[in-house]
Amino acid sequence: MDFNLTEEQLLMQKTAKEFAEKEIAPFIEEDEANHHFRMETLHKMAELGFFGCVIPEEYGGNDSGWLSCVLLSEQIAKVSASWGLPFNMQTIGPGLTILRWGTEEQKKKYLPDLVDCKKLGCFAITEPNSGSDVVSMKTTAREDGDHYVLNGNKMWISNAHIADVGIVFAHTDRSQKHKGMSAFIVDLKETEGVSSKAITAKLGLHCSPTGELYFDEARVPKENMLGKPGDGFKVCMTLLDNTRLSCASRALGVGAACLDLAMDYAAERTQFGKPLNTFQMVQADIAKMFVDHEAAKFLVYRAAWQKDQERWTRNSLEVSTAKFFAADAANHAADMALRIHGSYGFSKEYAIERFFRDAKSFQIVEGTHNIQQVIIANNLINR
């Protein structure tokens, strides 16, 4: 692996950093307090090509690669973890899944609009009683002529109530268990029987829309199935292999932000007549944050580099390793940085309070911490 970034990648990294500081940072605290999602910010990100990294040019992307995408989302998340999520909702999740499993007609119909944000995307896996145990989902898809009829409820879905297009997973044959799951592209706002509701009472990521989706005899054309009947579990696992890496890159950004905040505060704050950064216990915390961040960065960058070498070769072990470690590193950094801030860290007047709350999401979304350990162990045991 070449650890040197190309000139193009360095430029993209710089562009994302400047964008986050100019377009997100000035409004983030107010928007977080009001749970406000700025559509204009999303469109500005699209105009800069942020969502085209993993999509070929023929479908509206720029095909600059996975590592470029990781660099972008890392820099955005360093200012706002909430604003790192659109990478998953547009092309890392729905877009890349359609590219991998879709027909040529599906690719041409949906990919350009997801890249340009003319249509907002989401993917719907989790249900009220189905999270890590994906196969236990209750949503069904019944064949009826030239349609499938969807019934069920999806919960904790990012973009649920604002999305135009969703990748929805359902059982077409429950008796076949994981082999009876199928995946569908659903035009959420155009399909009768689809409704949604926002979820606003959540710990963090307040600028990121989250909600529920309801399917009540929702008729989806057969041509909107992704892959074949029964391919849903494979589609779901390959989707998560991708969105997990995006999650890891956001954790990387949050970890870096916490390190910077801790160092700045420790340099400014004095106790016993000396700056905090002269005390060895504070220095130890800062050193630990830095070492964890550097290790996480190499794991995340390596997994992205591997994906760039061979687009459709799954690197589940490396992705889950990166996600597991980066999520822990971000949470430890947030915890240590908040402690360095003392009482001020407990105040909403300081950004560390927001990063502390947001960091918890990385140990839950795209497969919990326990699930990542199961994936890692199974990959090692079954080599």
Q: Is 353 a catalytic residue?
A: no
Bridge partner list, 157: 211
CA 278 to chain centre: 37
- Residue 363 tokens read as 């140990």
Q: Which helix (H) or strand (E) holds 82?
A: none
CA 267 to chain centre: 33
For residue 27, give the nearest of 63, 67, 80, 69 by alpha carbon.
80
- Residue 149 tokens read as 């009829």
Q: Which of 23, 32, 127, 366 is catalytic?
A: 366
Question: Which spans in 222-350 are helix H?
Answer: 232-268, 280-309, 316-341
The angle at the Cα of 374, spanning 248 to 364, to the nearest 5 degrees, equals: 40
In the three-class reduction of DSSP (H, G, I as helix; E, B as strand; rest coil), residue 268 is classed as helix
| Burial (Cβ within 10 Å: 0-12, 13-18, ≥19) of residue 238 | middle
Q: Please identify every residue annotated as catalytic.
A: 366
